[in-house]
Structure 1
């Protein structure tokens, strides 16, 4: 049990220890690890010789530490657990703890490539019914491979960054017009952060997932549905997605989720050999979507048809490499019930059924000034809960200043 006041028994106890990057009093960016409602300054800890990582923890971004690989990740995690649970270290460590309320959290890693998948059968089926009502909900390839697209790494932003309403082309009965999106939406997702790179031409097998992936973030893949409906055939999303993707500021290590792996849905028809992950496991992550103070959905990640190891295996099977800081996201997390959907497109069934919020207003898609907050938890050891942080964004009108 941790000696840090107030941290024991919380989702951010010594069983979790997610990593982030922060600024304090306007200083340069530094790496920290969360414990309860405090943050341990790892730059200061390594400078003092309390933890050793070859200087990687003194960098302004997590990337050098991510690149070190699992043996070093495990060694640092073991040492941090010792520092934060053994009273013998309290006098040396306590001066390096900062209240979270006193720091600014920034993007924790430099994002390389960003790939977004489409791995929820419920979400894909719902979108198919809404966008293609006269066709089969799932396209013939959907159960044979994890569908995905390359996004824009340069517009991945940390939670709290304003989201400017995008403009683009949308269809009307009189032809295409240009202007701000009128059907702005969210996608509640889970993202996986690559630590150790792979070689170009060398696929990453499903059983090597944990050798390359360091941890997990929450993702909101903001989506302009009117732009998407006009542009997505035949090549898929482009401007409807590339304007902003928000991620949570904490990277939760895979080791913190060791108790969250559960059997994944059966895959029928059987997948090709390179996608066979035995055992076939997914993560029991429980998401919650809040719209202007009203919880409107609780998407269950455990039901995702395609698993994270399968996504990484498919991403690299053609010889494409991954790099330190690459991010691949699950795609929208949706369950079978309307109150488990991870997008407002599904929640309002294409805008046909407005959602009543607790403040008395009704919504179909996002209006300027709306705030969406996505949180998630997972089961941890001995009945405790693992917190995955928060990803939050507020919509600003087209042309508004970034900050």
Structure 2
């Protein structure tokens, strides 16, 4: 673990995490023992089970706990991660250390190998029951681009943007796991003749990073930035699908509503914060100075490189390290009014965009409001999503001992409106 992260997390590096796994294909994999993301899977006709990914296999943690290889008070035998998430960081760390031991010590191979399931044989399910969903708006580059597109001739950023992490409450019931098809939404849109109702013709994506809350907080109590790692278990990739035409008509004065609430896709794997210990880097300087409750020392973001593929072609690589507001600041702001956290809460970063056109996390920006179509490898031109289009978002991060770890991908295909 890097020195800066030991200061920010106040924790020791995990013994044995640098060891090589005996699992075939795990060495050199971005899903090696320095990663070990958690998910929920179905294998054949068996009930949903909690597992952890190692290389191209899933270790059945439910089975491991049943035979006494891992101890978590029965939480790993549940059909979602929520009970495990609620246990808190000491238990998260203990289980992770044990899993590393099981997967690296050859003495455990005879007992563990029967619990490994080939990834190709499983169906990934939504890994946790989403309690509440909040989406932020934390990229200065994205907010500036949207301001220029939606409010030409005016300042790109609104006066409050650098003082308060802007966000909105989304719809937890429409958060879906990667691979779930997305039906084109319908709603009201503006036209020269007045409002009309119909299928969105400006369907877009937003490449984001989401944070999964494990330990709840009490109603009326704030969560300070320093307690970020005590409440947040891990990270998922997010695609916050957006109907720009519905959004543009409805968002004033109360902000996003039906243009966002129809679907939000998340990856099937939750990467623990401990796996990202070496990915924490200094976040951009903040000027003007933030309010006291938003000060995070050290001021750290995450060095994640996202990749957006449109029908199999890479069209953008958004850098998460450029995000203006950090995950710890977002959590502090989310609770500054006394709003309580619940196990399974998901809060997303907002669209990740860098300073260059090839680094943006939405097609609104990539095509500059639809005025500059993107030509794909098959010769087709796109501004916004058409029926049948598939979008896949992936990400990598630096791992321990010079390794590279991958976050679980999030992918979705657009189906016609109903």
Give the TM-score category using the shorter length: over 0.9
Give the Cα–Cα distance (whole angstroms) in 2 for the partners of residues 179 and 18 of structure 1. Answer: 40
Task: Indicate the residue corresponding to 2:239 in structure 1.
Answer: 220
Q: TM-score, normalised by structure 2?
A: 0.95
Task: Indicate the residue corresponding to 2:220 in structure 1.
Answer: 201
Task: Indicate the residue corresponding to 2:209 in structure 1.
Answer: 190
Q: Which residue, out of 279, 301, 305, partners 1:260?
A: 279
How does 1:248-287 map onto structure 2 within 5 Å?
A: 248-287=267-306
SS at match of 1:259: helix
Task: Indicate the residue corresponding to 1:332 in structure 2.
Answer: 351
Task: Indicate the residue corresponding to 1:129 in structure 2.
Answer: 148
Task: Indicate the residue corresponding to 2:3 in structure 1.
Answer: none
Task: Indicate the residue corresponding to 2:317 in structure 1.
Answer: 298
SS at match of 1:258: helix
Give the Cα–Cα distance (whole angstroms) in 2 for the partners of residues 134 and 203 of structure 1. Answer: 39
Are the counterparts in 2 of residues 189 and 331 from structure 1 also a CA contact under 8 Å? Answer: yes
Task: Indicate the residue corresponding to 2:131 in structure 1.
Answer: 112
Task: Indicate the residue corresponding to 1:362 in structure 2.
Answer: 381
SS at match of 2:278: coil
Give the Cα–Cα distance (whole angstroms) in 2 for the partners of residues 172 and 80 of structure 1. Answer: 57
Task: Indicate the residue corresponding to 1:96 in structure 2.
Answer: 115
Q: Which residue, out of 28, 40, 52, partners 2:59?
A: 40
Task: Indicate the residue corresponding to 1:181 in structure 2.
Answer: 200
2:104 paired with 1:85 = yes
2:190 paired with 1:165 = no
How big is each residue's C-alpha offset from its partner over 1:120-149, in whole Å with a ceiling of 9 and x where there is no partner? Answer: 000000000000113211000000010000
Give the Cα–Cα distance (whole angstroms) in 2 for the partners of residues 134 and 298 of structure 1. Answer: 28
CA shift for structure 1 position 159: 0.3
Give the Cα–Cα distance (whole angstroms) in 2 for the partners of residues 210 and 279 of structure 1. Answer: 13
Task: Indicate the residue corresponding to 1:53 in structure 2.
Answer: 72
SS at match of 1:49: coil
How big is each residue's C-alpha offset from its partner over 1:338-396, in whole Å with a ceiling of 9 and x where there is no partner? Answer: 00000000000000000011111110000000000000010001111111010000000
Structure 1 runs (4+) greater than 3 angstroms displaced: none
SS at match of 1:295: strand
Are the counterparts in 2 of residues 293 and 358 from structure 1 also a CA contact under 8 Å? Answer: no
CA shift for structure 1 position 250: 0.2
